[in-house]
């Protein structure tokens, strides 16, 4: 069984934002790359679905790129990035629920007609009276 983590590559760089000396010395920002096109875990259909649904996060080479710099720990940022990748792929591969057509209820029809009558009476009261 091939694990998703075996297909990931990570790079680390210096994180932006406040943090003083720590931020200037330590590479805590983690950039995760997942090669969707050459993945052995996903079948051809799943690859196409992921490419379509996550196209804003996929670069020209077909890599899904996730950058994480939430914490000051490189390991924690790596874990957050992997969790986000799992979540994104799970959401992309989840089949869309088909909408069931429903009919309006009796109460909603009566309410609509009542509001329509009130609106019509309001407009009728604006007219000038014929004497």
User: How far apart are alpha carbons 81 and 57 in whole angstroms?
Assistant: 13
pLDDT digits over 13-69, tens only? Answer: 887 766 667 767 788 889 999 998 888 888 899 989 988 998 898 888 888 999 998
Confidence (pLDDT) at 69? 87
Confidence (pLDDT) at 1? 43
First to last CA, the chain: 90
Contact 69, 29 (CB under 8 A): yes
Taking the CA of residue 24 as centre, how many other CA atoms within 13 Å lie in the half-sphere pointing to its CB?
2
pLDDT digits over 112-131, tens only? Answer: 999 999 999 999 888 877 76
pTM here is 0.69
Confidence (pLDDT) at 83? 93
User: How far apart are alpha carbons 48 and 37 in whole angstroms?
Assistant: 9
Confidence (pLDDT) at 19? 67
Confidence (pLDDT) at 131? 67
The domain spans of the chain are 4-93
Confidence (pLDDT) at 108? 96
Confidence (pLDDT) at 12? 85
Contact 97, 106 (CB under 8 A): no
The two beta strands, 8-13 and 29-35, are antiparallel
Question: Which CATH number is 4-93's, of 3.40.50.300, 3.30.160.20, 3.40.50.11540, 1.10.1670.10?
Answer: 3.30.160.20
In the chain, count H helices and then E strands: 4, 3
User: How far apart are alpha carbons 77 and 16 in whole angstroms?
Assistant: 14
């Amino acid at each position: 069984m091939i694990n998703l983590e075996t297909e990931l590559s990570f790079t680390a760089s210096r994180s932006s934002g406040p943090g003083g000396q720590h931020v200037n010395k330590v590479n805590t920002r983690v950039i995760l790359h997942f090669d969707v096109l050459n993945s052995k875990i996903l079948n051809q259909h799943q690859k196409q679905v992921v490419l379509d649904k996550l196209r804003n996060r996929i670069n020209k080479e077909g890599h899904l790129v996730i950058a994480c710099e939430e914490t000051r720990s490189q390991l924690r940022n790596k874990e957050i990035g992997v969790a986000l990748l799992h979540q994104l792929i799970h959401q992309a591969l989840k089949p869309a629920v088909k909408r069931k057509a429903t009919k309006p209820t009796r109460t909603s029809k009566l309410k609509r007609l009542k509001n329509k009558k009130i609106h019509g009476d309001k407009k009728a009261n604006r007219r000038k009276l014929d004497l």
